[in-house]
């Protein structure tokens, strides 16, 4: 998996049905109806999220690309 920006990852989560619940500092917190998980995405300008963290977030959210 290639590195991805936080903004792009947030967009993909929104497309998958996740809803932005709140923003705490530079972290966007997403939730989804019927899911017990909370997804936290670091959004720091155009800084890339490393592949390991992006993999973990996508696996927790149940999305792939």
Three-state secondary structure call for residue 8? helix
Q: DSSP 3-state helix, strand, coil percentages of the chain (rounded to 5)? A: 30, 30, 40
* Two structure tokens written together for 58: 């996508």
Structure confidence by residue, pLDDT tens digits, 4-25: 999 999 999 999 999 999 999 9
Cβ atoms of residues 16 and 6 within 8 Å: no
Confidence of residue 29 (pLDDT cuts 50, 70, 90): very high
pLDDT of residue 35: 86
What domains appear along the chain, each with residue ranges and CATH number?
Answer: 4-61 (3.30.920.30)
């Amino acid at each position: 998996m290639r590195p991805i920006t936080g903004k792009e990852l947030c967009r993909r989560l929104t497309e998958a049905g996740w809803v932005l619940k709140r923003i705490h500092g530079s972290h966007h917190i997403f939730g989804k109806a019927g899911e017990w998980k909370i997804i936290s995405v670091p959004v720091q300008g155009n800084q890339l999220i490393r592949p390991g963290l992006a993999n973990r977030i996508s696996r927790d959210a149940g999305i792939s690309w």
